[in-house]
């Protein structure tokens, strides 16, 4: 299949103007907003400067103020079990810290006992720790007597326990020496280590992406001034959104990942929107338009507003997943999009109006991007018009072939391997496995109320509490997949609750653990609660699997409705929405080959887990669809503008590619560069994010929006823009033409 020449155009210096100047026309609402911003540039600049300074002052706190936990299924049985354990068992819950002490001699040696005492004192001094339970023979002291585990109970929220892990893991590790190793581990320490590694990777990726981004912008614009405008927009949006997230974090927990994704989207969308507006503004100036700002806002501004709305509604569907981490991540991205959108519609036209022809200052002649209408993309459009089936079928075959592996995709929650080998959580995890067995880090907590039955079919309250707990313990011990059960622990507060701790026979990330948990929940009394950190992961995975079809359906339905309102053309709105599934499917097909099967793992520097992280399908789909609709809006808005002017389907398709193809290609280049930098550093989840999103954008921009969607316009002809009479009476009239 022959692809279009994607080299940025460099037309002759004497290229003719693309159209007559024409008299100014009455601007629409966005045009009037743009003109007001340009005429009141001091007010606009002062307002944004005040907002950036006021909110940006909080931005440096973002990595410490935001939460590190929240990866749970609200209302699930495992979360209820954790809450009971926190309330009635001194914080011996999934968020408790485990302090693992290993020695080259028995732990009852005086020197080792001294280390244990110092570790206990460190943990006890932290106000977020309730009580420190010393090592217990037969439970938290290994059979060889050389490994002991201190349990620091959780007295604070899961997020604050992650912060406690941040503060304690270093001093605890510093106690190591003279044949004794001390490591903090457990779910809270895992999130602490992961957040640290993730933050370092994100910063490294951001530093790597900025030079690449600037180079692509210079190539796209051929002018240092024009290339700097998208970065101005992005920095304003980033500073404001980061500070806002810190303030919101004081009201309710916001995942630190919200800032990571917000940074990424602010950079990518800020550049996209600025590209679209600046290119349109330069074209209007080149035609001698005296109302260039108004024209830019009434045409490209409408497309940007629609694109922003599409991104927001796509991400809002993630709110359907009742998990704090997911909701705060989606909210963080939406907040960044709102700030970038506001800056695009106010700050950017103000600056453009003041710059005027100086937008091309510091031009690099050899890289001059030329007029708004790209001769090369126009030629590509003419080629697609003549041979739609040849190119459309080729693109479709490639996308389907890449999407085919998605049929065997497996998902699960991340394993311990997502944190570095030298991290505290992983070192302690390995020590616990060596001393107590492969399933010990995933010990299950089974909470039994004061009186309970002996089985799923037994009525509650038919026996004494002690007898019921003993029968339940026997039932748990006999369950396949359970290696051992610790003695029952009654609640010290007299509430009547009892806790059984069961050690699985398999690693916590093994698929077999899910079957063991399902068996326990089926066999134990209905009142029993089965929990633990590993079970919380399983419940979250189950929730994500159940919610994924709903999120996908809502995202696509809302995206279609927005396109329908804007374009008033049900056929092309439906085709444009459905086309997004192709690039998404292909991206997840590639993800299966890379992250599940391990192809290219050595090149990217990771060990495959044998599955894709469970949160990827639902969250990445919403992100990919939002980005894909970004390009869809740019292309179809331009096509509608040409169709409104000429009534010619050919001019609509060819003109859309000629006017927006270069912008889509340049914007996609920036996004792909940004996303792929995340695949080169850090823990596995950012690598998954970088590969999945980067591949999706690459395929969507090159094969879907620049090949398949134009082919659909070609094959549909005038039917693509037909509006049924009944729909015409219902929908608002939105024009993308300024003349």
Condensed to tens digits (0 to 9), the pLDDT of residues 319-345 reads 999 988 888 888 888 988 899 899 999
pLDDT digits (tens, 9 = 90+) for 295-306: 899 888 888 898
**What CA–CA distance (Å, rounded) separates 328 from 330?**
5
pLDDT for 604 beyond 90: no
> How many C-beta atoms surround the C-beta of residue 206 within 10 A?
18
Q: Which two tokens stand for residue 29?
A: 């609402």
Band of the pLDDT at 22, cuts 50, 70, 90? Answer: very low
**What CA–CA distance (Å, rounded) separates 94 from 529?**
13
Band of the pLDDT at 564, cuts 50, 70, 90? Answer: very high
- As a residue count, the chain comes to 739
Enumerate the H helices of 250-387 as residue ranges: 256-286, 292-296, 302-316, 324-345, 347-355, 375-386
Which of 220-234, 342-356, 424-438 is modeled with the greatest confidence?
Answer: 424-438
**What CA–CA distance (Å, rounded) separates 463 from 491?**
19
Q: Which two tokens stand for residue 157?
A: 């929220």
> How many C-beta atoms surround the C-beta of residue 593 within 10 A?
17
pLDDT at residue 15, rounded to an integer? 36
- Could you give the strand order of the β-sheet that contains 147-154, starting from the edge strand earlier in sequence? 129-133, 147-154, 97-103, 180-185
Q: Which residues pair with 489 in a beta bridge?
A: 499
pLDDT at residue 400, rounded to an integer? 96
pLDDT digits (tens, 9 = 90+) for 250-273: 777 787 778 777 877 777 788 888
pLDDT for 13 beyond 70: no
pLDDT for 367 beyond 60: no
Buried b / exposed e across 118-143, counting CB within 10 Å, b at 16+? Answer: ebbebbeebebbbbbbebeeebbbbe
pLDDT digits (tens, 9 = 90+) for 436-458: 999 999 999 999 997 655 444 44
When mean pLDDT is compared across 31-40, 93-102, 412-421, 452-461, the lowest value belongs to 452-461
pLDDT at residue 457, rounded to an integer? 40
Helix (H) or strand (E) holding 96: none
pLDDT for 210 beyond 80: no
Q: What percent of the chain has pLDDT over 70?
A: 91
Q: Which residues pair with 133 in a beta bridge?
A: 151
What's the average model confidence in pLDDT over 394-416?
Answer: 92
pLDDT at residue 16, rounded to an integer? 37
Tokens 């600046």 sit at which residue?
278
> How many C-beta atoms surround the C-beta of residue 661 within 10 A?
28
When mean pLDDT is compared across 178-182, 265-269, 542-546, the lowest value belongs to 265-269
pLDDT digits (tens, 9 = 90+) for 468-510: 888 999 999 999 999 999 999 999 888 889 999 999 999 998 9
Residue 296's alpha-carbon distances to 108, 232, 269, in angstroms, are: 77, 18, 18
pLDDT for 109 beyond 90: yes
711 contacts 388 by C-beta, under 8 angstroms: yes
Band of the pLDDT at 641, cuts 50, 70, 90? Answer: confident
Helix (H) or strand (E) holding 708: none
Full-model pTM: 0.84
pLDDT at residue 362, rounded to an integer? 67
**Mean confidence (pLDDT) of the chain:** 86
**What CA–CA distance (Å, rounded) separates 305 from 31?**
12
pLDDT digits (tens, 9 = 90+) for 646-699: 999 999 999 999 988 888 888 888 888 878 887 776 678 878 888 999 999 999
pLDDT for 11 beyond 60: no
pLDDT for 355 beyond 70: yes
- Beta-carbon contacts of 609 under 8 Å, excluding residues fewer than 6 positions away, are 412, 414, 415, 417, 509, 595, 596, 684
| CB-count burial class (<10 Å; 0-12, 13-18, 19+) for 108 | middle
3-state secondary structure 216-269: HHHHHHCEHHHHHHHHHHHHHHHHHHHHHHHHHHCCCCCEHHHHHHHHHHHHHH
**What CA–CA distance (Å, rounded) separates 91 from 88?**
8
pLDDT at residue 467, rounded to an integer? 62
Q: Can you say whether the dihedral through the CA atoms of 157, 158, 163, 168 is positive or negative?
A: positive
């Amino acid at each position: 299949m022959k692809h279009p020449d994607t080299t940025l155009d460099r037309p002759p210096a004497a290229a003719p103007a693309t159209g007559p100047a024409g008299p100014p026309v009455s601007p629409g609402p966005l045009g009037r907003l743009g003109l007001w911003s340009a005429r009141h540039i001091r007010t606009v600049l002062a307002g944004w400067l005040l907002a950036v300074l006021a909110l940006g002052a909080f931005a440096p706190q973002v990595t410490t103020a935001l939460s590190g936990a929240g990866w749970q299924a609200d209302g699930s049985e495992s979360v209820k079990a954790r809450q009971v354990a926190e309330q009635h068992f001194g914080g011996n819950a999934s968020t408790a810290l485990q302090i693992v002490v290993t020695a080259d001699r028995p732990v009852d040696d005086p020197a080792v006992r001294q280390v244990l005492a110092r570790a206990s004192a460190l943990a006890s001094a932290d106000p977020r720790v309730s009580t420190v339970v010393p090592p217990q023979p037969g439970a938290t002291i290994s059979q060889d007597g050389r490994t002991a585990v201190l349990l620091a109970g959780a007295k604070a929220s899961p997020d604050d326990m992650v912060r406690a892990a941040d503060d304690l893991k270093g001093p605890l590790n510093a106690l190591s020496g003279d044949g004794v190793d001390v490591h903090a581990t457990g779910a809270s320490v895992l999130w602490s280590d992961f957040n640290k590694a993730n933050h370092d990777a994100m910063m490294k990726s951001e530093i790597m992406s900025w030079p690449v981004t600037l180079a692509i912008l210079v190539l796209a614009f051929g002018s240092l001034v024009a290339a700097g405008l998208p970065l101005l927009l992005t920095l304003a949006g980033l500073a404001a959104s980061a500070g806002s997230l810190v303030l919101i974090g004081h009201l309710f927990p916001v995942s630190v990942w919200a800032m990571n994704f917000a940074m990424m989207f602010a950079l990518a969308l800020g550049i996209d929107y600025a590209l679209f507006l600046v290119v349109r503004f330069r074209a209007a100036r080149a035609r001698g338009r005296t109302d260039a700002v108004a024209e830019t806002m009434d045409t490209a501004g409408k497309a940007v507003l629609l694109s922003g709305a599409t991104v927001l509604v796509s991400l809002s569907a993630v709110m359907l997943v009742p998990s704090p981490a997911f909701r705060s991540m989606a909210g963080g991205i939406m907040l960044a999009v709102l700030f970038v959108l506001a800056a695009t519609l106010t700050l950017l036209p103000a600056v453009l109006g003041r710059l005027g022809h100086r937008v091309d200052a510091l031009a690099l002649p050899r890289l001059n991007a030329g007029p708004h209408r790209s001769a090369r993309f126009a030629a590509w459009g003419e080629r697609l018009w003549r041979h739609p089936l040849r190119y459309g079928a080729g693109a479709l075959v490639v996308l389907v072939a890449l999407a085919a592996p998605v049929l065997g995709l497996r998902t699960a929650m991340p394993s311990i391997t997502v944190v570095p080998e030298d991290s505290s959580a992983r070192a302690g995890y390995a020590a616990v496995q060596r001393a107590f067995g492969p399933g010990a880090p995933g010990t299950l907590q089974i909470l039994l109320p004061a009186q309970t039955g002996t089985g799923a079919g037994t009525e509650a309250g038919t026996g004494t509490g002690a007898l019921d707990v003993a029968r339940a313990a026997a039932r748990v011990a006999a369950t396949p997949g359970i290696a051992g059960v610790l003695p029952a622990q009654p609640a010290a507060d007299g509430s009547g609750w009892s806790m059984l701790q069961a050690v699985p026979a398999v690693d916590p990330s093994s698929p077999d653990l899910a079957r063991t948990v399902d068996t326990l929940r089926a066999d134990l009394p209905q009142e029993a609660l089965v929990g633990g950190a590993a079970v919380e992961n399983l419940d979250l995975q189950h929730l994500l699997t159940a919610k994924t079809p709903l999120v996908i359906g809502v995202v696509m339905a809302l995206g279609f409705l927005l396109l329908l309102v804007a374009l008033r053309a049900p056929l092309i709105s439906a085709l444009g929405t459905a086309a997004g599934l192709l690039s998404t499917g292909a991206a997840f097909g590639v993800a299966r080959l890379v992250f599940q099967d391990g192809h290219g793992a050595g090149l990217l520097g990771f060990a495959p887990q044998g599955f894709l992280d469970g949160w990827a399908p639902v969250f990445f789909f919403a992100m990919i669809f939002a980005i894909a609709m970004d390009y869809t809006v740019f292309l179809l808005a331009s096509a509608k503008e040409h169709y409104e002017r000429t009534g010619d389907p050919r001019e609509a398709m060819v003109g859309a590619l000629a006017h927006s193809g270069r912008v889509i290609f340049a914007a996609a280049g920036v996004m792909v560069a940004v996303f792929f930098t995340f695949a080169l550093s850090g823990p596995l989840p950012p690598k998954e994010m970088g590969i999945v999103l980067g591949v999706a954008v690459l395929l969507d921009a090159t094969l879907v929006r620049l090949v398949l969607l134009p082919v659909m316009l070609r094959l549909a002809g005038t039917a693509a823009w037909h509006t049924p009479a009944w729909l015409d009476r219902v929908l608002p009239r939105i024009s993308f033409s300024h003349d």
